[in-house]
Amino acid sequence: MNRRDFNLNALKLAGAGGLAAWLNTGRRAFSAAETSDPRLNGAYRFSRGRWIYVHLEGTPAEIGYQHGHLLAPEIEDAFKSVVLTNLRGTGKSRDFFRQAAQQVLWPKVDAEYQAEVEGIYHGLQARGAKMSFDDVIWLNAMEELSDYYVPWYDERHKTATGKRPVSPGNCSAFVATSSYTKGGQIVMAHSLWTSYLHGERWNIIFDIVPERGHRILMDGFPGVITSDDDFGINSAGMMITETTITQFNGWNPDGIPEFVRARKAMQYASSIDDYVRIMLDGNNGGYANDWLLGDRKTGEIARFELGLKAHRVWRTKDGYYVGSNFASDPKVIAEDTTFDPNDLSSSPNARRVRAEQLMKEWKGRIDLNLAQQYLSDHYDTWEKRKHPCTRTLCGHGDVSLHGEKVWDWKPYNPGGAVTGKVTDSTMTAAMSFIGRRGHPCGENFYAAPFLKKHPEYSWQSPLLHDMIAGPWTVFMSGEKA
């Protein structure tokens, strides 16, 4: 099958919206031809389906410079949202986060990724961005500094701030293979859950051709060297996603930052064993996840539950694994979390029940279309009815009266599912996946009427924007506008 045939077949699976997005590329592409800086050779960006596609290639320093230069406006804007939520959620200052980034994390970053992060900073400087170097490190560690390092720091230093950050519970996902899927290939799906404040900005498709390691196609947040919501594929046939472990506690100050290990694993892993080894090496407990993995070469899938004190790997060549922010291994639950796996009213457990129902109902038929339906599902297993809320696979906190106690989400919290991505073995072989910006179900969020109705969230104005759902859109490594 040639590339054109594959694109057309994938678009059929993406539906009419994907075809429309393919034909209408939207904004003008920006390429290195518009500047004389040789570090930008081969790099470019364009927009489609409400995503920004960015192609980066070269040495670590060149990839970083291209990243910072091409996405400077988006990085500055995204960082403002991170500063707002990190400071409000922890009671800490900018200087606290900058100092932690520079003194605690930076010395543990591999030289390769130090060069890439430094490159992002230099690219931002070239575009006149008002961010310090420490800000760029902070941005890359936004998940682990505020929700993992800060609780550890406060406990160790007996700091009473009146604020206790709670580790996030982000994402719905599954990976299935063999008798559970149509044609027996691996099928993977993932929806990112986060605040709409961040989620509306989580809009990048990164196509990265590094000097060493495997080519990467992943979604991501502007200015961050790894996916951070962790959906991606590499040219060795690895299919990678995760869901965060709810109510996790733990941090190792001597470990390697999670954003470094996650990027390294996506870039260098050629097998499930490689991925597990890289993530365990220097594990600092930051941004602890249940990793769902697939190897298209072998048809094997895995669930890798990575705590700090404990971890476990499940593997199969015929079956499925689901993720919705619940931990499963009794040792991980007991030693690394305060999570209650028996509370079926909580979002992680309610979504787990629904995920298991759908896997069994769809056995033998799971494909890209059903993967999209999975991410769009609005059935609440606790109330036993269809209505979007925090207990549904497609999460809608802004209309959820009950909020979510395990994440300290108050009623009507503006957060939930903000992207959807699906792929299978065939698409992975062609370095391709399908993504949707906004709620996977296609519903839109409008900031102004929400803030008028819920002034308790007015602290997010003026950074809270409308989150308009785009079409399901096909992306492939190496494509251009």
SS3 of residue 158 by DSSP: coil
Taking the C-alpha atoms of residue 274 and residue 268, their distance in angstroms, rounded to an integer, is 8
The DSSP call for residue 100 is I
Taking the C-alpha atoms of residue 163 and residue 166, their distance in angstroms, rounded to an integer, is 9
SS3 of residue 323 by DSSP: strand
Taking the C-alpha atoms of residue 196 and residue 399, their distance in angstroms, rounded to an integer, is 13
Taking the C-alpha atoms of residue 462 and residue 478, their distance in angstroms, rounded to an integer, is 36
3-state helix, strand, coil in the chain (%, to 5): 40, 25, 35
SS3 of residue 114 by DSSP: helix
> What pLDDT is stored for residue 159 in this prediction?
83
Taking the C-alpha atoms of residue 458 and residue 363, their distance in angstroms, rounded to an integer, is 45
* Low pLDDT (below 50) residues in the chain: 1-8, 11-12, 15-28, 32-33
> What pLDDT is stored for residue 35 in this prediction?
65
CA dihedral 420, 173, 218, 8 (to 10 degrees): -60
Residue 13, CA distances (Å) to 156, 339, 369, 383 in order: 52, 38, 6, 32
Cβ neighbours of 450 (radius 10 Å): 18
Listed by start position, the domains of the chain span: 172-476
SS3 of residue 237 by DSSP: coil
- Domain 172-476, what fold? Penicillin V Acylase; Chain A (3.60.60)
CA dihedral 35, 39, 41, 46 (to 10 degrees): -70
Taking the C-alpha atoms of residue 248 and residue 264, their distance in angstroms, rounded to an integer, is 23
- Both tokens of 168, joined, read 């996030």
- Which residue type is seen at 62? E
> What pLDDT is stored for residue 481 in this prediction?
85
Q: Can you list the pairs that 36-42 forms with residues at least 24 positions away whose Cβ atoms lie under 8 Å?
A: 37/65, 37/69, 37/126, 39/65, 39/66, 39/69, 39/119, 40/65, 40/66, 40/69, 40/70
Taking the C-alpha atoms of residue 388 and residue 397, their distance in angstroms, rounded to an integer, is 8
> What pLDDT is stored for residue 158 in this prediction?
87
b/e 341-379 (16+ beta carbons within 10 angstroms → b): beeeebbbbbbbbbbeebbeebeeebbbbbbbbbbbbbb
> What pLDDT is stored for residue 259 in this prediction?
98
Cβ neighbours of 158 (radius 10 Å): 6
The DSSP call for residue 213 is S
> What pLDDT is stored for residue 469 in this prediction?
98
| CB-based contact 442:418 (threshold 8 Å) | no
The DSSP call for residue 248 is B
SS3 of residue 181 by DSSP: strand
> What pLDDT is stored for residue 20 in this prediction?
39
Taking the C-alpha atoms of residue 384 and residue 379, their distance in angstroms, rounded to an integer, is 7
Residue 108, CA distances (Å) to 105, 151, 255, 260, 280 in order: 6, 20, 7, 9, 15
Angle at CA of residue 117, ends 113 and 122, nearest 5°: 140
